[in-house]
Amino acid sequence: MVGAACAYHCTSAGLRVTVVERGAIGGATTAACEGNILLSDKEPGAELELALLSSRLWARTAQALGAERLEYQEKGGVMVAASPATADGLRKLTAVQRAAGIDAVDVSRDEVTGLEPNITPEVAAGAYYPQDCQVQPVLATARLLRHAREHGATVLPGTAVTGFVRDSRGAVTGVRTDSATAPLIPAGRVVNAAGTWGGELAGLAGVPLPILPRKGFILVTEPLPRVVRHKVYTAEYVANVASGDAGLQTSVVVEGTRAGTVLIGASRERVGFDRSVSLPVLRRLAAQAIGVFPFLAEVALLRSYLGFRPYCPDHLPVIGADPRAPGLLHACGHEGAGIGLSAATGHLIAQVITGAAPDLDLAPFRPERFEETTV
């Protein structure tokens, strides 16, 4: 998704682009997520600024390419608090979020039921976030790349970057690949959009980036009529997203899709690239979802899937030029928000490359920040 957004915004800015993807288009973490474009789970700070910009740019992109074609939906989010104490915490969060520019509406228990008629009666209060949106991430990736190709980009799936080309002063001037037909691709700039493998790719250029996998499971139910109308999650979700704990965390997120299936997430744990399926984690997610939507107890699961979020220790992505390797830029490490944040990331990368003043201060996202803090 992030590489496709970079290609979309760079070609739109008149740049010549080659996208190099070692697997299938949109086949990695982008194929293993839910596709939400969220403001509701963001606390004030650099990530929220990026998310606000991205939300505006996604709306513009949906208008330009056709919302239907991306399955872009302004579905809105509902956060629920089960107890009066959690409701108090949620009210404080929404007040801070409103001050930071998010449209966060405090809603009563009855209003929550009006928004979500099938929700448990065990709700104390909630918050409604009309700006929360969704896309179908693989479809959106393909559509952005199609647009980039129509504007002159070359897309090379099944082609892995194996190294970087440097000039006599050490500047990056292209990439080496495992392709017999394009073993060397010269470039004025190279953008590292390798997601969870962004650290590995940066390592090939001799620059460290501490991007680690943060595993997550999603459950998918059988197709149902429209029983869940918004993205619905519990107030604990925001704390879990912001946590740096390596241990297992689950906080329920439930939402319907256009196909009728209901997606149930999400777990978070740092266990490397361990692809094993954990029945206890799936059970916990299911039990938490039934706690919010009791009717789910009678619904069959179709499947589950898992992915590895690209996690940075400070929960911020890496965006911008790397002074340690001139010519190399990064656009990776977006953890659990890479779909939402991709539009702003691609736009900012295009601004940096074309020499335009970036719409946001990129300092919080600078690639060399991890070395500065460990020295």
What DSSP letter does each residue of 20-49 carry, written as one string?
EESSSTT-SGGGGS--EE-STTPPTTHHHH
Residue 75 CB, shortest distance to ligand FAD, in Å, is: 12
Residue 126 CB, shortest distance to ligand FAD, in Å, is: 19
Give residues in contact with ligand FAD (CB under 6 A).
Answer: 1-3, 20-23, 27-30, 32-36, 160-161, 193-197, 201, 216, 218, 265-266, 307, 309-310, 332, 334-340
Residue 51 CB, shortest distance to ligand FAD, in Å, is: 9
| Number of CB atoms found within 10 A of residue 245's CB | 10
Residue 83 CB, shortest distance to ligand FAD, in Å, is: 26
CB nearer ligand FAD, residue 35 or residue 126: 35
CB nearer ligand FAD, residue 168 or residue 181: 181
Say how far apart CA 38 and CA 299 lie, in whole Å. Answer: 27
CB nearer ligand FAD, residue 187 or residue 193: 193
Residue 215 CB, shortest distance to ligand FAD, in Å, is: 7
Residue 203 CB, shortest distance to ligand FAD, in Å, is: 10
* DSSP code of residue 337: G
Say how far apart CA 112 and CA 29 lie, in whole Å. Answer: 32
CB nearer ligand FAD, residue 122 or residue 178: 178
Residue 375 CB, shortest distance to ligand FAD, in Å, is: 27
CB nearer ligand FAD, residue 144 or residue 235: 144
CB nearer ligand FAD, residue 30 or residue 55: 30
Tokens of 248: 């297992």
Whose CA is closest to 12, among 349, 261, 286, 372?
Answer: 349
Q: Which residues contact 273 (CB under 8 A, 6 or more apart)?
A: 213, 308
SS (H, E, C) 76-137: CEEEEECCHHHHHHHHHHHHHHHHCCCCCEEEEHHHHHHHCCCCCCCCCEEEEECCCEECCH
Say how far apart CA 302 and CA 286 lie, in whole Å. Answer: 13
CB nearer ligand FAD, residue 265 or residue 320: 265
Say how far apart CA 160 and CA 242 lie, in whole Å. Answer: 32
